Amino acid sequence: MFSFLKALVNNPREIGALFPSSSFLAKEMAAHVVKNPQGVVVELGAGTGVITKELLKTGLQPNNIIVVESSKDLVKKLRRRFPAIRIIEGNAAELMTLLTFEKREVHTIISSLPLRSLPKPIAETILKQINLRLSKEGRYIQYTYSFNENPFFSLANFERVASKRIWMNLPPARVEVWA
């Protein structure tokens, strides 16, 4: 929790939450992941690893998960907690560059990034990177604290296939799934 609070104080717009995600939110997000042993799942903004832990619980192998986190302190914590998972310190706006080493298809991108609180050009860049890297059969899973029905404009190649409110989270959140 200390690493999370430190990251929040240092970069409040990038963290976007006062509390780590609940296990209820993590379970809902992990339930929509495409499981394909030849592909990978990329998690953006893993924070303290609540969703990462849930991904492993679903049976995903550590070598099929790649985590991208921008906070140096959270990266250190994630590397200690999940030594078998590839943890990349970097900005999701540079996703294509960060994943140049990865030759397997990305079947799921699961994101805890606060896209609605980031400057619009940065959010647009991140969504364009997701569009470029996600396989055609893939899924993009994002949660938001906004309950407004406002689809992400840059996901024109995908359609929203699920949307669920998670009341057992502080604050309550909505999980959106795009395929």
**Three-class secondary structure assignment of the chain:** CHHHHHHHHHCHHHHCCCCCCCHHHHHHHHCCCCCCCCCEEEEECCCCCHHHHHHHHCCCCHHHEEEEECCHHHHHHHHHHCCCCEEEECCHHHHHHHCCCCCCCEEEEEECCCCCCCCHHHHHHHHHHHHHHEEEEEEEEEEECCCCCCCCCCCCCCCEEEEEEECCCCCCEEEEEEC
Question: How confident is the model at residue 127, as a pLDDT?
Answer: 93
Confidence label for 37 from pLDDT (cuts 50, 70 and 90): confident
Question: How confident is the model at residue 1, as a pLDDT?
Answer: 47
Taking only the tens place, the pLDDT of each residue in 117-162 is 899 999 999 999 999 999 999 999 999 998 776 555 567 678 899 9
Confidence label for 97 from pLDDT (cuts 50, 70 and 90): very high
Check pLDDT > 90 for residue 11: no
Confidence label for 35 from pLDDT (cuts 50, 70 and 90): confident
Q: Which CATH superfamily is domain 2-178 in?
A: Vaccinia Virus protein VP39 (3.40.50.150)
The residue-averaged pLDDT of 20-45 equals 94
pTM of the entire predicted model: 0.87
Question: How confident is the model at residue 146, as a pLDDT?
Answer: 82
Question: How confident is the model at residue 88, as a pLDDT?
Answer: 98
The residue-averaged pLDDT of 101-113 equals 96
Confidence label for 20 from pLDDT (cuts 50, 70 and 90): confident
With a pLDDT cut of 90, the percent of the chain lying above it is 75
